[in-house]
Amino acid sequence: MLVLNLACETGHSFEGWFASANDFESQQQRGLLSCPLCNSAKVRKMPSAPRLNLSAAEPAPARRRAPAAPSPEPTAPVLPPGAPVIAAELQKQVIQAVRTLMANTEDVGDRFATEARRIHYGEAQERGIRGRATPDEARELADEGIDIVALPVPDALKDPLQ
């Protein structure tokens, strides 16, 4: 299993679990990755950060856009001393939430958009489902008023539950 540090275009950093580097590339190319905090699909791989080194005095450096104060150099955000720990805690909660979600939903795989639509229109039994949708499919569902939540569910979490 490969744990990668990822970040979205607005600078949220989070962790992604993948079977391999190819798995990451493939999910990224198919637009399956999105930020758990803002849903942005513009996710990129960050250099390995000292994420596990939480006892270190210095918070992990992170870039953040500062549109109000343009400057030639990227400004380093000022983080409260507890920030890295909070981020780790949040990440843990996200992973736990994903686990709970996966234990309570039916995996419909690539048929996600079809199933979500059938449930919405009363053609299939009302239930929690999870699966994969392309960005286009997700947009179409949203247009039809069908609520879906995009989560970067790591492949590593999927297998043991099946």
CA distance 149 to 64: 25
CA distance 32 to 140: 16
CB 137, min distance to Zn ion, A: 21
CB 116, min distance to Zn ion, A: 23
Phi-psi region of 113 (alpha: psi -120 to 50; beta: other; left: phi over 0): alpha
Q: Which of residues 1-30 bind Zn ion (CB under 5 A)?
A: 8, 10, 12
CB 86, min distance to Zn ion, A: 16
35 interacts with Zn ion by CB under 5 A: yes
- Residue pair 111/131 in contact by the 8 Å Cβ criterion: yes
Nearer to Zn ion by Cβ, of 35 and 141: the residue is 35
42 interacts with Zn ion by CB under 5 A: no
Number of residues that bind Zn ion (CB under 5 A): 7
Sheet containing 2-8: give its strands across.
13-18, 2-8, 43-45
38 interacts with Zn ion by CB under 5 A: yes
Nearer to Zn ion by Cβ, of 56 and 142: the residue is 142
Give the tokens for residue 70: 């343009």
CB 156, min distance to Zn ion, A: 21
CA distance 37 to 33: 12
Nearer to Zn ion by Cβ, of 23 and 34: the residue is 34
Residues of the shown chain interacting with Zn ion in the complex, contacts defined by CB under 5 A? 8, 10, 12, 35, 37-38, 40
